[in-house]
Structures are given as C-alpha cells and as structure tokens.
Structure 1
Amino acid sequence: MYGFKIVDHLQKIDEDIKRDQLKYHAKRVLVSKEFTFDAAHHLHCYEGKCKNLHGHTYRVIFGLSGYTDERGLIIDFGDIKNIWKEKIEIYLDHRYLNETLPLMNTTAENMVVWIYEKMAEALLEEQSLEGARVEFVRLYETPTSFAEARREWMEVE
C-alpha cells in the first residue's frame, strides 16, 4: 500500500533555490482556463428550434500564450479569472444575449469572435503581460457542439 509521507525538507527561496532559478526557460508557452455560463438567446433568419427563445449552459475555453516572467509564470490563473469575471462574463451569464451583446445574430460563431476580441483587448490593457496573446477561444453551445476563433484567423482577415 501507499503510505502518506510528509516532505523531509520544505524548499525555501534564497536558501535552497535562488530567485534566478525560478525561470526554467525562455520559450513561449500556452496556458488554458475554462469557464461556464448560462444564458438565453434566439436566432434571427433561422428555421429550426433555435429561432425560439431558449437557453444553454455554455462552456468557454481560453488558450493564452506568452513568455514566462522571472517567477516562471505567463499569467496567473486567478488573473485570467478576474478578466473573465470583470470584462466578459458580465455580458453573458444569466443574460438575454440578444440584448447584452453588440447587435449581431447570437450564433456561437459570432459570439466566439466577440469573446476572443474582449480577451485580446483585456490582455493588451495589462502592461505586465507583455507578449501575452490569445491563441484560441472555444465556445461550446452544447456538450458536443462548439465554435472556435484562432489567432491566426483573427489577425489575417
């Protein structure tokens, strides 16, 4: 059986590891964070169930890349959560999307681009995140259906 073991020695900064050892590499790395929100919407110029007012539990996955700072971090996961809560989720969670988003048909394809743009804008505003960028946003409308916006598509067109 496996036994529970307490560490023999808790590593201490400036004694066991030096500050200049915290950053292991100088490569670009991608971090990802996922969120969910519940919202109602309906589609215009569409024949099918979604023309009627209905709701979804959406799932959003962000892929953000950048270079690590002196601590070995690109961005703290808590900072991604704060951006989500303060700048994006307020327009989405428990909202009627046709009312809170810019004028658009509230398709997953339109919404994922708007979410991408909001996150990209927020990263640009954070001066401590130099080089951080959105690589992709994936928006699940159902557990098996999603739309995705990728940096290479967003910046070319």
Structure 2
Amino acid sequence: MSRTPGEFRIVDKLQKLGDDIQPKQLKYHNRRVLVSKEFTFDAAHHLHAYEGKCKNLHGHTYKAVIGISARPNDIGLTADFGLIKEIWKSRIETYLDHRYLNETLPPMNTTAENMVVWLFEQMEEALASEEVKPLIHEGRTEFIRLYETPTSYAEARREWMTGE
C-alpha cells in the first residue's frame, strides 16, 4: 500500500528485540556524544565589593544547562537523562533552589562566573564517583552554562577548566 507524505498511519508492526533487531545492533557507534539537560532554580544572593544594584539582596530564576559527553553503552545510551537529573537533585540542587546562595555555597562572591565553575566541579565530582562512573562510559562534563537572566549567562567549558 502506498502512502502519501504526512499521511496519518499507525505502524504496521512494532519492532521486537531479538526478532527484528538484535541486541548487538542497539549500539550503532562508539563515538563520543554530548547530551544536555536544563534545570531551573530560584535563589537569592548579593555581591560583595560591587557598586551596583546587585550589591543589595535580590533574587533570580536561574537556568543551568549541563553538557556531558560519553561513549555509548551496549544499548546505545551515552548518559541517561534520568541519571543526570538524579545527580542534579541529589548533589547540586539542595545548595541552590530557594536558598540564600551567600550562605549555602562555599565562601565566594556569588557571581555567575564563580557559580558556574562550582557547578562544573560538582558535575565532574559526581561523574567520577563510584556510583556514577560505571553508568556513564568515559563520562565528562563538557560545559555548564548558567543563566542569571534570560539574556545573560556565564559558561565554563572543559578546555578552560582542565586545559584539555
């Protein structure tokens, strides 16, 4: 039966593992691939030694974009998005969401430039941990982008953090 492009249809046959595709075919390649996940959080902070309106206590709805690269596992996944979310929730978000950042982060001026490096370090530490390392083959943080406003962000990239 011939179909026209864009015509609605339901699949003729649902592909079945072992019959239509073999387990060894699930991993299509062994190239490093980057996956990215975004998170938002609301927090308050103020800047020290700064003569502008940010010297006063104020808040932002931040957006963090995390880019992780790895080699695919046996079923073709580089890094499960759910695992990235779990790392965020368990290791990072607790220090950020609805917090006073000057109190919950290490001693630093809570600029986006300082915070993005802290985020990079947290992700690298998580990827190197004994519980995560076996789940993401050769996983590494490639970049972190931290938006302080919808049009302003700071970014940390792997080559700047590690010299690679």
Matched with 2:153 is: 146
The equivalent of 2:137 in structure 1 is 130
Structure 2 distance, partners of 1:88, 1:141, is 17
Alignment of 1:11-30 (within 5 A): 11-30=15-34
- CA RMSD for the aligned pairs? 1.4
* Runs of 4+ more than 3 Å apart: 1-4
Question: What SS is found at the alignment partner of 1:45?
Answer: coil
What is the aligned partner in structure 1 of residue 73 from structure 2?
Answer: 69
CA distances 1:112-134 after superposition (whole Å, capped 9, x unpaired): 00001001100111131231000
Contact 2:133 2:139 in 1 (8 A): no
Q: How far apart are residue 6 of structure 1 and its match? A: 1.3
Equivalent residue for 2:121? Answer: 117
Question: CA–CA distance in 1 between the matches of 2:99 and 2:144?
Answer: 20
Aligned to 2:35: 31
Between the two proteins, the alignment pairs up a number of residues equal to 157
Gaps of 5+ in 1: none
Match for residue 90 of structure 1 among 91, 94, 107? 94
- Give the equivalent residue in structure 1 for 2:103: 99
AA at the equivalent of 2:68: L
Secondary structure of the corresponding residue to residue 37 of structure 1: strand
Structure 2 residues not aligned, in runs of 5+: none
User: Tell me, what secondary structure is at the counterpart of 2:84?
Assistant: helix
Q: Tell me how far 1:3 sits from its aligned partner.
A: 4.6
